[in-house]
Amino acid sequence: MLYVDTDFFQQANLTNANLEGALVTGNTSFKGSIITGADFTDVPFREDQREYLCKIADGVNPTTGNATRETLLCN
């Protein structure tokens, strides 16, 4: 399991990353990150984190076949 703590992914390039089941805690920020094709299946997010990621989410993970927006449970 991947454990993500405060500020670890700020401005990170997570293109096509498989973060399935990662644990995101505290004040972790994804601001400025690239998440095209990232798979966030079963990753628990604070609502504000999820809302931000849904605004920038696009693509499909080439390994899992899951759409980034779907794995974030975006509306």
Band (74; pLDDT cuts 50, 70, 90) = very high
- Model's pTM, two decimal places? 0.87
What pLDDT shows up at residue 1? 52
Calculate mean pLDDT across residues 20-30: 83
Q: Contact 5/28 with Cβ under 8 angstroms? A: yes
Instruction: Locate the domains of the chain by residue range.
Output: 1-74
The type of residue at 72 is L
What pLDDT shows up at residue 60? 98
For residue 33, is pLDDT > 60?
A: yes
For residue 45, is pLDDT > 60?
A: yes
Secondary structure class of 55 (helix, strand, coil): helix
In 16-74, the DSSP E strands lie at 23-24
- Domain spanning 1-74, CATH class: mainly beta
Q: What are phi and psi of 13, to 5 degrees?
A: -95, 105
